[in-house]
Amino acid sequence: MTRITLEADDIPAGSPVHRAKERLDYDFVKISDQEFLLPLTAEFRSFVDTTATKNNVEFRNYRKFSADTSVNFDDPEVQPLLNEDKPKEQASPKQ
């Protein structure tokens, strides 16, 4: 598991925030027979004036979405348009 911890320092003396810190935990999660390093949990704590706040987050139900596509110009009847094949626009006469 990998953990990132953030903590506020040098908070100005007149600020209503006395302390703030956050913790993020990451680990490898298996999705579609492949492992990815993803966040698992987070916790944020703050102390503002006389109020303490704690917020817990849990990440789950990961899914992998993907799509496949291809472009094929093998058909001789279908040719891509090139700039020189396009008709040139004529300028409208000024009145």
The whole-angstrom separation of Cα 8 and Cα 22 is 9
* 17 HSE (CA, 13 A, CB side): 12
Structural domain spans, the chain? 2-62
Give me the phi and psi of 92, to 5 degrees please. Answer: -75, 145
More confident residue, 87 or 42: 42
pLDDT of residue 87: 58
The reported pLDDT for the residue numbered 78 is 62
The DSSP 8-state label assigned to residue 16 in this structure reads S
Mean pLDDT of 59-81: 79
Q: Which residues does 40 contact at the CB level (< 8 Å), separation at least 6?
A: 1, 25, 26, 27, 29, 58, 59
For residue 42, what is the enclosing H or E element?
Answer: strand 34-48
